């Protein structure tokens, strides 16, 4: 048979589409796929999951049946289902017998030797099981199991996500159908094997929607019939709270529900037909696939395609695929295509429904381009005959796309699907599937279509025909119905004598160099063992942790206790008790650049070597005092150290350790990649949506990362929600923060909020945020009324500060009470003045701010209620925040305002005070002292 090369073929389709019949309706699954994990040696009788069916008409009662076989990759039938059973009336799948290691290995080998064994079962909604090859939603669903060759892990080692939800949640519900239950929260294996793990669920956003979640059974159901014309998709959120001992974590995942259309407004065509045209180009001898509109979505409709020839001398053919509802157009006679009258071919394709015999037609115009390539003498008809790459690529074969066969190089790893072979097109042959064109002639792709023959050598046969996996090179002889899979026996040596000599010399030279380098490094290590490690080139010019400006006496003289700190003695004169649990070797800490700096202290970026037993270097932040710090500031830092030892929450900055001996006190805390929330918000305000920054700002690194998207209003609400959760934890720990503000919240990787307090360096961020006192500043604009006038600090005063923090978040780092100096703010707040609602702030968010600013502390909400309110706002928020529009025109909003010298001091009666008046009057008379970041009450 001669062969030809067909170039780009223009295919013009004119489709005449009548309305075809509908698929049968009835009970249907709410999902087309379910997911679960199975471990070896799990006990028989263990419940796995529920499948749910919804009614098409009232009164229908579902009956569930399981398919008889387990299927693996490429829909390969692996084994009869001996392990899983189902309760026909409830839809509960449970383990019938335990899966042991030998069963797992048997299934894994049949599945192609993949280390992760994923199989699936088919569940039918029918009194009797349908044919397994006809499993399609809505009357059939697949249940996927990941068989893991290990025992069930310890409950405490599981991630919260694995304790709450399966791999994917997505639901389909038909419109205008009776309401019913379509899902049940709770992973049954976790409940069965981990009885000490407490898991609570809630459906966020479902209260005002047609969905509800029963508190006792955790069943999710519809309240009333859905209407697609009103809404096509519901984007809900499922929340899960996990409690393991004293640890509590919350996980949230999407919970989408799609409403499927009922043809209650069926389309109509003028005259019963509609016309559409398209131009499609193909570069293969199989010209292309044709199908009636939406043919891939048909269920229960069988379509057959026929080709009506307008010119019998110019021949093409069409075949109908048995697996789908498409017809494949292919070249039937290459010699006929050489004729000049065949340069343009016109055909009509007729699609016929086998059951109803209803038809539709398409007019095809095929333009043939390219040159004829004659058959090469001495070349086989089938590409699969060739066993070597050179002879494969020198010849053409039946079905080759460009007149030459193609060589597929395998990976050479035992019996594998990616074996080496010669093919007319490696895109379609071999792919483990004998399609409609390949089945027309055994010479096209015997690797996929060989039937009734023999395969010699290492291989794994296909389910019905062909080679599923092979060893080495596989070549076939279609006339003899034989294939061979074996390694090439006359391969050229990979390395000759000269090559081996060079390699041996290189190995010997490398060994000698390695010995010399090892000896040198060991010598240097012992010589410089007392010196701190150098982490990387980045730290070449950094100071080791000992090189700190505070003078320190290394003498072993007895030092005064902490109780005498009020005495005018230098800071280094005090001996700090050592805590072995938190003490970190000072020589393993290398200090870097300064992150924040105040009057008496600063925070620097540093690198810790072998932190908490972790190999290598860890980036951390280090808090320390300056050399002019007083004993009072040291006491503040020690208090913060002792309190941070007691807290452990994802939204609170984590303490790693401290260097308290043989030098100044250094607190080692978690490093936040993006700095303070205030700087983070201001950078996003400057950037605008989709901007990728390139400046050198301290907080601009998040803009250099293309993975960081523009902020949305949902992001801002999420920031507030995270902070409220952290404050809720501190309130439960009986801790009062006393300085909650955006400058004291850090942004870690993944936009995770971390409540912190750069208490010793806070005045670096705001010029008018604090009223100056003799030994520091007071955050007037964030303080509650009772704190300002009666110096009372409680959790409810933190709630007031949280309201101001909300205002900062919504205005993207705006300065509270813009244009109002702190000394005027006292009387304004007493008269009931509160900040106005920002332009881009919702009424709901502003209402929450006003509740936080109630004058009576007991009328303000607690942090637990604030978290719930923000929870609801997160579900409702969907639109992108217009960063440019949300930048107020008033420059005072982002101006740090008056300097200390320009700010007049006033007493409570608003009478001016002389600038020479000692500021201790404000400290002692009005405010008292903020001694440290957190205060226990």
Q: In sequence order, which residues have a C-beta less than 8 Å from that of residue 909 and are 6 or more positions away?
A: none
Summarize the chain as % helix, strand, coil (round to 5). Answer: 25, 25, 50
Least confident of 626-640, 695-709, 908-922: 908-922
The label of the residue with tokens 């049946």 reads 65
CA 439-443-445 angle, to 5 degrees, is: 60
The Cα 542–Cα 590 span in angstroms is 7
**pLDDT tens profile 61-106:** 888 888 878 887 556 677 788 888 888 888 989 988 887 877 777 7
The pair of three-digit structure tokens given for residue 127, joined into one six-digit string: 């009194």
The overall pTM is greater than 0.75: no
pLDDT digits (tens, 9 = 90+) for 734-757: 888 888 999 999 999 889 999 987
Q: Is 742 exposed, middle or buried (0-12, 13-18, 19+ CB in 10 A)?
A: buried
- Tell which wins on pLDDT, 530 or 304: 304
> Tokens in use for 860?
């303000």
* Phi, psi (rounded to 5 degrees) for 418: -95, 60
* pLDDT recorded at residue 605: 93
In contact, 52 and 183? CB cutoff 8 Å: yes
Spacing of C-alpha 604 from chain mean position: 32
Given pLDDT bands bounded at 50, 70 and 90, which one contains residue 326? low
Burial 712-736 (b: 16+ CB within 10 A, else e): bbbbbbbbbbbbbbbbbbbbeeebb
User: In this predicted model, what pLDDT tens digit does every residue of 402-418 receive, in sequence order?
Assistant: 778 999 988 877 788 88
Measured in whole angstroms, the distance separating CA 667 from the mean position of its chain's CA atoms is 33
- Which range (130-134, 438-442, 795-799) has the least confidence? 130-134
DSSP tag of 834:
-
SS3 at position 785: helix
Residue 717 reports pLDDT greater than 90 = yes
Q: How confident is the model at residue 316 (pLDDT cuts 50, 70, 90)?
A: low
- pLDDT tens by residue, 249-269: 888 888 899 998 776 554 444
Instruction: Concatenate the DSSP letters of all residues of 37-86 into one string.
Output: EEETTPPTT-EEEE--EE-SSTT----EEE-SEEE-GGG-EEEE--SEEE
Higher-pLDDT residue of 826, 75: 826
Residue 928 has pLDDT above 80, yes or no: no
Which of 739, 763, 798, 871 does the annotation list as catalytic?
739
Is 242 strand, coil or helix? strand
**Tell me: the pLDDT tens digits for 518-564?**
888 887 766 554 444 433 333 323 333 433 333 333 333 333 334 33
Residue 761's closest CA among 908, 639, 624?
624
Share of the chain above pLDDT 90, in %: 16
**Reported confidence tier of residue 716, pLDDT bands at 50, 70, 90:** very high
Structural element, H or E, at residue 202:
strand 198-204
pLDDT for the residue numbered 916: 33
Q: How confident is the prediction for the chain on average, in pLDDT?
A: 73
Please state the rounded mean pLDDT for residues 372-396. 83
**What is the rounded average pLDDT of the residues 6-30?**
45
Burial grade of 14 (CB within 10 A; 0-12, 13-18, 19 or more):
middle
- Rounded CA-CA distance 100/144 in Å is 19
Confidence of residue 709 (pLDDT cuts 50, 70, 90): low
Residue 759 pLDDT greater than 50, yes or no: no
739 is annotated as an active-site residue = yes
**Percent with pLDDT over 70 in the chain:** 68
Of the listed ranges 369-378, 627-636, 854-863, the least confidently predicted one is 369-378
CB 212 within 8 A of CB 220: yes
Q: For position 68, what pLDDT does the model report?
A: 79
Binding residues for ATP: 623
Annotated binding site: 623
Mean pLDDT of 334-358: 73
């Amino acid at each position: 048979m001669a062969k030809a090369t067909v170039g780009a073929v223009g295919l013009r389709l004119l489709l005449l589409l009548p309305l075809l019949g509908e698929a049968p309706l009835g009970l249907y699954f709410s999902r087309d796929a379910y997911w679960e994990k199975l471990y070896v040696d799990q006990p028989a009788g263990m419940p796995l999951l529920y499948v749910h069916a919804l009614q098409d008409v009232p009164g229908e009662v579902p009956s569930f049946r399981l398919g008889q076989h387990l299927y693996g990759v490429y829909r390969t039938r692996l084994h009869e289902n001996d392990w899983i059973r189902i309760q026909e009336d409830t839809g509960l799948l449970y383990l019938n017998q335990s899966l042991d290691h030998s069963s797992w290995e048997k299934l894994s080998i049949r599945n192609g030797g993949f280390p992760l064994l994923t199989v699936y079962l088919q569940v039918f909604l029918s009194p009797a099981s349908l044919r397994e090859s006809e499993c399609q939603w809505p009357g059939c669903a697949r249940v996927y199991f990941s068989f893991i060759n290990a025992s069930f892990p310890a409950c405490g080692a599981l991630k919260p996500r694995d304790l709450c939800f399966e791999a994917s949640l997505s639901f389909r519900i038909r419109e205008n159908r009776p309401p019913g239950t379509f899902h049940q929260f709770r992973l049954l294996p976790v409940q069965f094997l981990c009885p000490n793990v407490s898991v609570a669920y809630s459906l966020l956003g479902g209260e005002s929607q047609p969905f509800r979640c029963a508190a006792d059974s955790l069943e999710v159901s519809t309240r009333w019939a859905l209407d697609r014309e009103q809404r096509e998709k519901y984007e809900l959120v499922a929340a899960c709270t996990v409690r393991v001992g004293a640890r509590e974590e919350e996980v949230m995942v999407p919970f989408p529900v799609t409403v499927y259309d009922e043809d209650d407004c069926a389309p109509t065509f003028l005259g019963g037909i509609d016309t559409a045209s398209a131009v499609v180009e193909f570069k293969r001898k199989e010209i292309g696939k044709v199908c009636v509109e939406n043919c891939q979505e048909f269920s229960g409709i069988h379509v057959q395609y026929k080709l009506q020839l307008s010119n019998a001398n110019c021949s093409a053919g069409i075949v109908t695929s048995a697996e789908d509802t498409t017809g494949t157009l292919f070249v039937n006679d290459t010699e006929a295509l050489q004729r000049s009258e065949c340069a343009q071919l016109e055909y009509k394709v007729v699609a016929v429904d086998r059951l109803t015999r209803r038809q539709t037609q398409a007019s095809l115009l095929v333009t043939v381009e390219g040159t004829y390539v004659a058959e090469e003498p001495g070349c086989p008809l089938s590409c699969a005959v060739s066993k070597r790459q050179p002879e494969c690529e020198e010849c053409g074969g039946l079905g080759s796309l460009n007149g030459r066969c193609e060589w597929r190089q395998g990976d050479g790893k035992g019996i594998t699907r990616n074996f080496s072979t010669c093919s007319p097109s490696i895109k379609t042959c071999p792919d483990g599937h004998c399609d409609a064109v390949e089945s027309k002639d055994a010479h096209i792709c015997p690797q996929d279509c060989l039937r009734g023959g023999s395969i010699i050598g290492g291989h794994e046969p296909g389910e019905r025909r062909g080679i599923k996996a092979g060893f080495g090179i596989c070549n076939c002889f279609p006339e003899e119905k034989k294939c061979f899979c074996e390694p090439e026996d006359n391969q050229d040596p990979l390395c000759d004598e000269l090559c081996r000599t060079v390699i041996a010399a290189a190995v010997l030279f490398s060994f000698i160099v390695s010995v010399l380098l090892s000896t040198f490094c060991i010598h240097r290590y012992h010589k410089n063992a007392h010196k701190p490690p150098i982490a990387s080139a980045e730290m070449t010019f950094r100071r080791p942790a000992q090189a700190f400006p505070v003078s320190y006496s290394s003498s072993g003289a007895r030092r005064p206790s902490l109780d005498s700190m009020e005495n005018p003695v230098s800071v280094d004169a005090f001996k700090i008790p050592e805590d072995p649990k938190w003490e970190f070797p000072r020589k393993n800490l290398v200090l870097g650049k300064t992150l924040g700096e105040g009057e008496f202290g600063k925070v620097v970026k540093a690198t810790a070597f072998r932190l908490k037993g972790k190999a290598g270097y860890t980036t951390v932040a280090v808090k320390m005092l300056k050399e002019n710090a007083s004993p009072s500031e040291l006491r503040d830092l020690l208090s913060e150290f002792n309190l941070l030892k007691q807290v452990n929450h994802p939204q609170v900055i984590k303490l790693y350790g401290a260097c308290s001996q043989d030098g100044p006190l250094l607190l080692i805390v978690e490093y936040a990649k993006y700095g303070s929330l205030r700087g983070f918000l201001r950078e996003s305000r400057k950037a605008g949506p989709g901007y990728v920054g390139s400046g050198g700002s301290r907080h601009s690194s998040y803009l250099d990362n293309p993975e960081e998207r523009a902020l949305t209003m949902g992001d801002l609400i999420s920031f507030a929600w995270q902070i409220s959760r952290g404050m809720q934890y501190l309130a439960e720990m009986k801790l009062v923060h006393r300085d909650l503000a955006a400058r004291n919240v850090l942004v870690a990787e993944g936009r995770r909020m971390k409540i912190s307090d750069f208490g010793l360096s806070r005045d670096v961020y705001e010029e008018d945020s604090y009223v100056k006192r003799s030994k520091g500043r007071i955050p007037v604009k964030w303080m509650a009324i009772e704190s300002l006038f009666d110096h009372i600090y409680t959790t409810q005063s933190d709630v007031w500060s949280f309201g101001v923090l909300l205002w900062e978040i919504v205005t993207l780092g705006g300065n509270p009470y813009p244009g109002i100096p702190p000394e005027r703010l006292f009387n304004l707040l007493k008269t009931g003045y509160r900040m106005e609602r920002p332009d881009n702030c919702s009424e709901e968010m502003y209402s929450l701010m006003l509740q936080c600013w109630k004058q009576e502390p007991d009328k303000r909400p607690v942090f637990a209620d604030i978290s719930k309110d923000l929870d609801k706002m997160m579900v409702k928020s969907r639109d992108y925040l217009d960063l440019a529009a949300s930048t107020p025109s008033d420059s005072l909003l982002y101006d740090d305002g008056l300097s200390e010298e320009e700010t007049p001091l006033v007493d409570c009666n608003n009478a001016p005070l002389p600038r020479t008046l000692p500021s201790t009057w404000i400290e002692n008379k009005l405010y008292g002292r903020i001694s440290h970041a957190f205060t226990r009450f």
